[in-house]
Chain A
């Protein structure tokens, strides 16, 4: 329950009983390819628009997570989901097919942990037996909405990030086999006045540090409590800035391993992704695909996932507004 100012401790330890990750062809060429359940060879996923493609993978990951839990969708009480599209159409349209009672969320790329935190809260308080939580993004639909047409030849600066095509989903239950969610810290919106939409890492880093600081303060722990602290999609630029901010705020991050999902999914030497990865799908597929597998194998005991989101719209940056950012932290532990 509430601990400190903005954190929840889940004393009943809601369990992640199943996970599912679906990614596109480009992610399938990356170093984490073996950790994903489905890798598609076609960026359209057999659909005729990017938006439908995004919807398809969100749906597919959700269905697969339910299947992995040996459940049917009728047994799942609630579905928490969101994505980057206007009016979160991808998740809502996927929810139309799933027809599970649905909460639509928007936290930009922080949606993965926002939905996981809320789903955990509901399960922990006895509000549901099984809850589905998922999110996803598609590189081309995001480019189309936030930047330029996908085939438009514009040179991206070295601070730009590449939106992940992928979707991750989990099913939570009060009991079962799998990693458990032990606490969550809900972040506040932080805006340091960065206006460049091609520099999300720098915009989001302060939000990540703010939430991690709040988490450590609320739970009265040090970074060493975790085997790994991982941020969502700060990528190279934001990651370096975050490390600087930790030092400035006297957070001894060196006690633990600090990584960033945006720097894990692609191979910088072979894949031309500038600063790294971003998107709702980034922290979702890296956490649900790669990190949870490592927790289950016993390589990691306690991890803190801090998904970061940039809450801008194409309109807001065209009007010269800065980029407000948010980060949500969820701690996951192995169940042994």
Chain B
């Protein structure tokens, strides 16, 4: 792909892009990785604390506590998004705040807030999945492929028996 793109460029363009590349500051990948690790870790830690609380005081076992834990995290993320804080955290945290479920909630809440001005149906309804939509589509496709592989290599698992 990259070489195909390069072929279309004239020598002057290529020379310019080399110059531009030299001057552009690079994304600080190592720093971003460390920050993502810390931020992602903290979010997961918060999730763990919430889950433990549900287990301790809610009388749930680990499996039962999973869903309400996710719901609380989503709620927190939506609240932070609404107050305009989540995007500021994300500039620092990068993938750390994008990958957990909070990032998914943020992508939906931010789109819903942004397009509220176009009405409930054409605005919020139509645009809420603008960013989250591709996650769902490719998530479903990936899950289907994995399920198919499991069926092929481990036929006994078919039918939901574990």
Contact = CB atoms under 8 A, between A and B. Distances in A.
Interface of A: 48-51, 144, 148-159, 192-195, 199, 202, 205-206, 236-237, 240-241, 244-245, 272, 275
Contact of A237 (B23, B90, B117, B130): B23
A94 B12 CA distance: 42
B114 A150 contact: yes
Given A49-B117, A244-B19, A153 B111 contact: no
A49 B95 CA distance: 29
* Consensus secondary structure, chain B interface: helix
Given A192-B13, A192-B16, A193-B17, A152 B23 contact: no
Contacts of B12: 192
7 contacts: A150-B87, A150-B110, A151-B110, A155-B93, A159-B25, A237-B25, A275-B25
Interface residues of B, number: 41
A272 B91 contact: yes
B136 interface: no
Contacts of B93: 153, 155
Interface string B112-139: 0111010000000000001100000000
Nearest to B117: A49
A149 B111 contact: yes
A151 B81 contact: yes
A153 B90 contact: yes
Interface in B12-55: 12-13, 16-17, 19-20, 23-28, 32
Interface stretch (B57-65, B68-76, B101-109, B152-160): B101-109
A144 B27 contact: no
A36 B112 CA distance: 34
A156 B17 contact: no
A151 B113 contact: yes
Nearest to B114: A149
Contact of A153 (B19, B86, B113, B117): B86
* Consensus secondary structure, chain A interface: loop
A194 B18 CA distance: 11
Interface-central residue, A50, A240, A245, by most chain B CB under 10 Å:
A240
A71 B109 CA distance: 46
Contacts of A49: 117
B16 A156 contact: no
B20 A151 contact: no
A240 B21 CA distance: 12
A193 B90 CA distance: 30
A151 B128 CA distance: 13
A154 B98 contact: yes
Contact of A149 (B28, B82, B90, B110): B110
Contact of B27 (A153, A154, A158, A236): A158
Given A152-B87, A153-B91, 20 more contacts: A148-B131, A149-B130, A151-B81, A152-B111, A152-B114, A152-B131, A153-B86, A153-B89, A154-B98, A155-B95, A157-B27, A158-B28, A159-B24, A159-B25, A194-B17, A199-B24, A236-B25, A244-B19, A245-B19, A272-B91
